[in-house]
Amino acid sequence: MKKFSLFSFFIHLFMLNYIQKIKGLYLMNIYGDYEKYLELILETLSKEVYKLNDEYKNKTGYKLFEHFISRIKTNESMIEKCKRREFEPTTYNALKEIKDAIGVRIVCGFVDDIYALVGMFKKMSNINVVEEKDYILNVKPNGYRSYHMILEIVTNFPDCEGNEKGKYYIEVQLRTIAMDSWASLEHQMKYKKNIRNHARITKELKRCADELASCDLNMQTIKNLIEESDNNENIIS
């Protein structure tokens, strides 16, 4: 009986230590002293993108994008991602290895607007594109379409590597309205449990993605025809 009680005591002590460790992990601020800079960097980029939108609209009569959605990944989400990627939950890994502490999704009206924005990002003097994946030309097997970029932005804020003009990363996703709608619905369905006819649903989602992509191309063609008509009228007048 005494042995059992002693064993129980050590198990209880171990569990208390483990719980305290887990609590401590989630109470820590993984971004450390650099958290305050993330919102400022996001705000600066947002202003730049909205400025580009205004200039584009004044020049062409069209908006460059319909929606601008942004977020700073929460402390809890970043810790979870570090664990999934088998990184220690440190400030360095959160800001330098994961590269999506700052996230932006830009939803455009037309496919050409996506590539216009890509070109504009590449021309920004304080930005380097360190990674890009074109899932519009190279569609994922499930039908997912989007343009992904990882931007390295040089700032006036210090970073965790000791640089006075620190470098921070921003994940950017560019989609049309149709692509964004499909991705949102597919994401919701993916996490539904006990779905029957999984193969058929996957096939139907792929078919819907292809039909929406065809719609995007048709809308782009209509826009091009309107612009061509406007240009011809200007030449005649």
The yes-or-no verdict on residue 170 having pLDDT over 50 is yes
Residue ranges of alpha helices (H) inside the chain are 2-27, 35-60, 75-84, 91-92, 111-123, 177-190, 198-236
Task: Enter the DSSP assignment of 173.
Answer: E
CA 209 to chain centre: 20
Tell me the whole-structure pTM to 2 decimals: 0.84
The pLDDT tens digits for 4-14 are 565 565 565 55
The pLDDT tens digits for 14-24 are 555 544 554 45
CA distance 101 to 192: 27
Looking at beta carbons, which pairs linking 134-142 to residues 24 or more positions away fall under 8 Å? Answer: 136/111, 136/179, 139/209, 139/213, 141/206, 142/186, 142/202, 142/205, 142/206, 142/209
Domain boundaries, the chain: 30-177
The pLDDT tens digits for 72-95 are 999 999 999 999 999 999 999 999
Q: If pLDDT is split at 50, 70 and 90, which confidence band does 233 have?
A: low
In percent, the amount of the chain with pLDDT more than 90 equals 74
CATH number 3.30.460.10 given to 30-177: yes
The yes-or-no verdict on residue 179 having pLDDT over 60 is yes
How far, CA to CA in Å, does 60 sit from each of 51, 193, 223, 230? 14, 47, 11, 11
Q: Is 20 or 131 the better-scoring residue by pLDDT?
A: 131
Residues 179-192, mean pLDDT to the nearest whole number: 86
